[in-house]
Copies of this chain bind each other. A is one copy, B any other.
Amino acid sequence: MAARKTSVLLFFFMFLALSSAFPRNKNKYKPCKHLVLFFHDIIYNGKNAANATAAIVAAPQGANLTILAPQFHFGNIAVFDDPITLDNNLHSKPVGRAQGMYIYDTKNTFTSWLGFSFALNSTDYQGSINFIGVDPILIKTRDISVVGGTGDFFMHRGIATINTDAYEGDVYFRLKVDIKFYECW
């Protein structure tokens, strides 16, 4: 009898354990690693060559490479090499570089498509994190995919939540990136 009671209880606790391991609601997943970083983008506008960290390199017909295109910049591709910092200060010591591109890709609002990487090189982290996703810029927080990583982020996957922490016109913006890894190795 005692054995039977034990196994019923065991089954019950296994069921509980499974419920929390495979929840329906994604918010119930607990990240295996968590990072919050900032990066800073200064786009070249014809006058700021020394400070610019990004440049428009492609534009639709009729537009040029120093002024973002009309119609919500649709068709512009910018290449960037932005400093990554631990806090929101552009002048803090960088812990790495955010490198890749963003593409403005809607004609009637501001959205972009992101393909980029974090190359981290600090005492805490050495390695790269690779991101892909859509960024509906005007929404407060946007989720993109962490599709892989190397070094300390070997084979990691996760979700990065992006938040425009500050901006100045079209020239400067600062993104806060909250990276939650759900697959660590």
Give the B-binding residues of A (Cβ under 8 A).
Answer: 26, 29, 44, 46, 55-61, 64-66, 74-77, 79-81, 97, 99-101, 103-107, 111, 113, 115-117, 119, 128, 130, 132-134, 136, 143-151, 154-155, 157-159, 182-183, 185
Contact = CB atoms under 8 A, between A and B. Distances in A.
A121 to B, nearest CB: 10
This chain's copy number in the assembly:
3
B134 A119 contact: yes
Q: Tell me whether chain A's interface is mostly helix, strand or loop, or mixed.
A: strand
Given A56-B60, A77-B79, A99-B134, 5 more contacts: A79-B105, A80-B105, A100-B105, A100-B113, A143-B150
Nearest to A72: B81
Contacts of A143: 128, 150-151
B155 A157 contact: yes
19 contacts: A55-B74, A57-B77, A58-B58, A60-B65, A74-B79, A74-B81, A97-B106, A99-B105, A99-B106, A99-B111, A100-B103, A101-B105, A128-B144, A130-B134, A130-B147, A143-B150, A144-B150, A150-B159, A155-B157
Contacts of A101: 77, 103, 105, 113
A66 B57 contact: no
